[in-house]
Structure 1
């Protein structure tokens, strides 16, 4: 039997299991994506069930199992929910960050703390900053870490210097007039500049139209590469 271990983690998703247990999907700092069961947490007398929720930075004790780890202890390190759950835009942006992180995570990505640290930083910033800007910046940087960064100036196909007026995930981002594929989005070059600033974590002041267009392009690029929709991103746009 493998030894138990402690790690920092955030809750990505939960679902009920059996009569009183709950399965918790955790994004950990040093063990990638971990699915664990918290036994008895749905009982009223559970000692740590209330801590195993979204928007909490946890210190957890885990016992590896064949299919599911067992979560035997969970201590709150930071709680980000107070300013998130009471604000619809912040809440949906935070949920989108968590769901996207699950799609971008790899269960065997041990000892790579990047995604955990990026998620906790995003949750912290969503409390105070423009939630859409924080989310889009997080997604751009997380995709770059995964090797899917969109080209935002040079043509993704032929590297012709920009700025360009077209964008399509299939070619890798910005496209010149020669490489522009059918169905490419017509894009304001300033929108791509705004996206570049977000990716670099620099200050940016886009118009509402540029911010909205950037969000649509980032969502399209993400969902193209993970090959599935992120439900929380669709909710944001309703």
Structure 2
């Protein structure tokens, strides 16, 4: 999506693709919106009159859809939303509870850990990839669809911690640098930054050998299996707690 900016008196008018991370009511008619924008990163803006009239922003202030917004950026202060429209609707996410729940969880991670006012192309791209995958969905039983949703969320989480510079070392012990035997389970500590062998005290979650191999393969375009989702999500959330104090 194209983005750009131009000077508007004491503010800069910025046009950017964006995702809605959170909306908070203030006063009688306004909303404070936290956005992840492709141009500016995570920013907060006030949407004046948004609570009083749905027509004010055309019903565009909803999560998961890709938005195109215009906002007055005012340095360190709260920006002002000038216009918003849905650029890419994702009704497939909204219509499936599991997909909507996963999307909400992912966007909550981003809201808590993405640096303010710093464009992060890798985080933006990972969000788009996840939401598009959830929007497409997969054919199959309810259990198969839920498994695919959790795999997508886990893959996103691993991309997120890599983008933030918090990726985990999974092929060797972070303390002694002894390689982890192929196919063998390993202790993985988010606090210590990756695998920790028994000789170095072990620590953290036990990750099975097959899961560890598939996690290592993600950076080369590999995919996770359904059984990998739960331990991968646990690793992601522990990493976010260690580095950013993720709540929950």
TM-score category, normalised to shorter length: 0.7 to 0.9
Report if aligned partners of 2:17, 2:38 keep a CA contact under 8 Å in 1. yes
Distance between the aligned counterparts of 2:171 and 2:155, measured in 1?
A: 17
For the structure 1 residues 32 and 45, does the alpha-carbon distance in structure 2 shift closer, same or farther, using more than 3 Å as the test? closer
Report the Cα offset of residue 49 of structure 1. 5.0
Q: What secondary structure, in the 3-state scheme, does the structure 2 residue paired with 1:40 have?
A: coil
Distance between the aligned counterparts of 2:225 and 2:156, measured in 1?
A: 17
Report the Cα offset of residue 85 of structure 1. 2.2
For the structure 1 residues 64 and 214, does the alpha-carbon distance in structure 2 shift closer, same or farther, using more than 3 Å as the test? closer
Q: What secondary structure, in the 3-state scheme, does the structure 1 residue paired with 2:56 have?
A: coil
Cα deviation, 1:96-149, whole Å, max 9, x if unaligned, reads: 111111223111314x42222221221111222511111111111121111100
> 1:217 aligns to what?
235
> 1:63 aligns to what?
72
**Which ranges of 4 or more aligned residues in structure 1 deviate by more than 3 Å?**
197-201
> 1:193 aligns to what?
213
Unpaired stretches in structure 1, ≥5 consecutive residues: 232-238
Q: Paired residue for 1:167, among 183, 188, 195?
A: 188
Report if aligned partners of 2:155, 2:224 keep a CA contact under 8 Å in 1. no
> 2:83 aligns to what?
73
Q: What secondary structure, in the 3-state scheme, does the structure 2 residue paired with 1:16 have?
A: strand
Unpaired stretches in structure 2, ≥5 consecutive residues: 1-9, 139-147
Report if aligned partners of 2:187, 2:196 keep a CA contact under 8 Å in 1. yes
> 1:134 aligns to what?
152
For the structure 1 residues 6 and 94, does the alpha-carbon distance in structure 2 shift closer, same or farther, using more than 3 Å as the test? same
Counterparts in 2 of 1:95-174, with a 5 A limit? 95-110=104-119, 112-127=120-135, 128=137, 130-163=148-181, 164-174=185-195
Distance between the aligned counterparts of 2:204 and 2:65, measured in 1?
A: 39
> 1:44 aligns to what?
53
> 2:7 aligns to what?
none
Distance between the aligned counterparts of 1:62 and 1:189, measured in 2?
A: 48
Distance between the aligned counterparts of 1:49 and 1:165, measured in 2?
A: 51
Report the Cα offset of residue 199 of structure 1. 4.7
Report the Cα offset of residue 39 of structure 1. 0.9
For the structure 1 residues 33 and 3, does the alpha-carbon distance in structure 2 shift closer, same or farther, using more than 3 Å as the test? same
Report the Cα offset of residue 38 of structure 1. 0.8
TM-score, normalised with respect to structure 2 = 0.83
Report the Cα offset of residue 29 of structure 1. 0.5
Distance between the aligned counterparts of 2:195 and 2:219, measured in 1?
A: 15
Does residue 184 of the first structure (1) align with residue 194 of the second (2)?
no
TM-score, normalised with respect to structure 1 = 0.86
Does residue 89 of the first structure (1) align with residue 123 of the second (2)?
no
For the structure 1 residues 225 and 141, does the alpha-carbon distance in structure 2 shift closer, same or farther, using more than 3 Å as the test? same
Task: Say what the alpha-carbon RMSD is for the aligned residues.
Answer: 2.0
> 1:34 aligns to what?
43
Q: What is the number of equivalent residue pairs in this alignment?
A: 225
Report the Cα offset of residue 46 of structure 1. 2.5
